[in-house]
């Protein structure tokens, strides 16, 4: 296939890799500039959860999240190993009455947007590992969860197979002047390349708990809970559960804090007491690239530069939507130039 032209993708996380893979499939000659350090994609929970992440007022984020979830179901997984999907349903539950009110608010808002979910007062019938007394919830049966690290590695392998080339990170856009076009997709570092992009780092701790012989089995679905106003999620993995995630602003500090880790463990065991017998395998913190309105910035910056950044807590969910949107912009460029 004769390439459309050359494309430099700056960023090697799930967004950059998804953009690179889509462009390579379309026939671009692609080079990815990436850092050897593990970024936010390595720490993520991997939930693809537009319904259970939804909140009144976030109408546009819900819309694009649902569009992207359909792309996950509709072909984005092609070329990736079967094992990257770790759950095919989400259960959202509430611990106390105030949490149940919040949950009902989300359910009613989703229904008003044309995406009803079925509320239940028998959540333990759906997930027996839940703590005694947890009754209120709803099921989002089209949501998925993926092993974030397996997805990143599989996207890298697919890019390799498509002939994508790898290069060190850049400090200025001038270092990509040899490419016909470039995509800024390096998360919290995007403003360093294009000053004025309203993206800031938001810290989040994530824990990994490993199943041990004699423990209760790993849950088969994602369990999201509101615990006295705090949110916690439990995401199945082949060998255990990922627990997340705190969210607060602390500059570029990625050291896990005792308070955040304690809250996650307390809340996880409040929701599913059997997790207290699992092995505490890992604690890490990542920096989400957040925007003021919570929506990603996926657009053209000038005639040669596009941006795909600011995905916040929804990087994995929105990766297919982002890749398609960038692909459309690239095709438009080719059409204009020819």
d(CA 288, CA 188) in angstroms, rounded, equals: 7
Mean pLDDT of 64-74: 97
- Tell which residue, 3, 4, 15, 1, has the closest CA to residue 288: 15
Mean pLDDT of 255-280: 97
Chain mean pLDDT for the chain = 94
d(CA 18, CA 80) in angstroms, rounded, equals: 12
Return the pLDDT at 166. Answer: 98
Note the pLDDT tens digit of each residue in 26-43. Answer: 999 999 999 999 889 999
Break the chain into its structural domains and give their ranges: 1-86+142-198+292-338
Return the pLDDT at 173. Answer: 98
At 3, the pLDDT band (50, 70, 90 cuts) reads low
Residue burial 148-165, b: 16+ Cβ < 10 Å; e: rest: bbbbbebbbebbeebebe
pLDDT > 70? residue 1: no
Region of 293 on the Ramachandran plot (φ > 0 left; ψ -120 to 50 alpha; else beta): alpha
Under DSSP, is residue 258 helix (H, G, I), strand (E, B) or coil?
Answer: helix
In eight-state DSSP terms, residue 137 is E
Return the pLDDT at 337. Answer: 43
Specify the range with the lowest mean pLDDT, choosing from 60-69, 113-122, 186-195, 215-224: 113-122
Q: Strand 165-167's sheet: what is its strand order?
A: 165-167, 29-33, 6-10, 181-184, 305-309, 297-300
- The percent of residues above 90 in pLDDT, for the chain, comes to 91
Tokens of 71: 């792309």
Return the pLDDT at 338. Answer: 38
Mean pLDDT of 180-187: 98
Note the pLDDT tens digit of each residue in 72-107. Answer: 999 999 989 988 999 999 999 999 999 999 999 999
CATH class name, domain 1-86+142-198+292-338 = alpha beta
Tokens of 128: 């027996």
Place of tokens 């989703």: 110
| DSSP states of 72-105 | IIIIITTTS-GGGEEES-EEEEESSHHHHHHHHH
Return the pLDDT at 21. Answer: 98
At 118, the pLDDT band (50, 70, 90 cuts) reads confident
Specify the range with the lowest mean pLDDT, choosing from 66-70, 112-116, 132-136: 112-116
In eight-state DSSP terms, residue 252 is B
Mean pLDDT of 115-141: 94
Note the pLDDT tens digit of each residue in 305-316. Answer: 999 999 999 999
Query: From the centroid of its chain, how far is CA 185?
Result: 14
- Tell which residue, 14, 332, 25, 2, has the closest CA to residue 181: 332
Return the pLDDT at 213. Answer: 96
Note the pLDDT tens digit of each residue in 275-298. Answer: 999 999 999 999 999 999 999 999
At 333, the pLDDT band (50, 70, 90 cuts) reads confident
Mean pLDDT of 206-215: 97
pTM of the model: 0.95
Tokens of 336: 């204009």
Residue 305, classified by CB atoms within 10 Å of its CB into exposed (0-12), middle (13-18) or buried (19+), is middle
Mean pLDDT of 146-164: 97
Return the pLDDT at 335. Answer: 65
- Tell which residue, 108, 121, 118, has the closest CA to residue 141: 118
Tell me the residue ranges of DSSP E strands in 193-255.
200-210, 222-227, 230-237, 240-244
- The percent of residues above 70 in pLDDT, for the chain, comes to 98
Note the pLDDT tens digit of each residue in 246-261. Answer: 999 989 999 999 999 9
Place of tokens 């939804």: 54
Sequence-ordered list of residues with C-beta below 8 angstroms from that of 68, at least 6 positions apart, any chain: 48, 50, 317, 318, 319, 320, 321, 322
């Amino acid at each position: 296939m004769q390439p459309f032209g050359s494309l430099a993708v700056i960023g090697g996380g799930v967004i950059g890799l998804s953009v690179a893979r889509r462009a390579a499939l379309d026939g671009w000659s692609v080079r990815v500039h990436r850092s050897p350090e593990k970024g936010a994609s390595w720490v993520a929970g991997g939930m693809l959860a537009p319904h259970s992440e939804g909140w009144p007022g976030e109408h546009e984020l819900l819309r694009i999240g649902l569009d992207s979830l359909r792309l996950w179901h509709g072909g984005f997984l092609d070329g990736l190993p079967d094992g990257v999907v770790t759950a095919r349903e989400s259960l959202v539950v509430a611990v106390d009455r105030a949490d149940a009110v919040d949950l009902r608010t989300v359910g009613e808002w989703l229904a008003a947007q044309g995406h009803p979910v079925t509320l239940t007062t028998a959540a333990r019938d759906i997930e027996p590992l839940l703590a005694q007394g947890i009754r209120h919830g709803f099921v989002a049966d089209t949501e998925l969860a993926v092993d974030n690290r397996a997805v990143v590695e599989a996207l890298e392998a697919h890019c390799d197979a498509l002939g994508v080339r790898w290069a060190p990170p850049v400090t200025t856009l001038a270092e990509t002047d040899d490419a016909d076009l470039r995509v800024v997709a390096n998360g919290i570092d995007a403003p360093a390349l294009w000053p004025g992009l309203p993206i800031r780092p938001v810290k989040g701790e994530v824990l990994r708990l490993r199943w041990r012989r004699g423990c209760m089995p790993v849950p088969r679905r994602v369990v999201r809970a509101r615990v006295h106003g705090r949110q916690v999620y439990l995401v199945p993995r082949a060998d255990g559960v990922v627990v997340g995630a705190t969210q607060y602003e602390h500059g570029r500090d990625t050291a896990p804090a005792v308070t955040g880790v304690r809250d996650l463990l307390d809340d996880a065991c409040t929701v599913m007491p059997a997790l207290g017998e699992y092995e505490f395998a890992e604690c890490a913190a990542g920096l989400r690239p957040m925007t003021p309105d919570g929506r990603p910035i996926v657009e053209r910056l000038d005639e040669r530069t596009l941006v795909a950044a600011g995905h916040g807590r929804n990087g994995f969910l929105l990766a297919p939507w982002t890749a398609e949107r960038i692909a459309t912009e690239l095709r438009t460029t080719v059409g204009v130039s020819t």
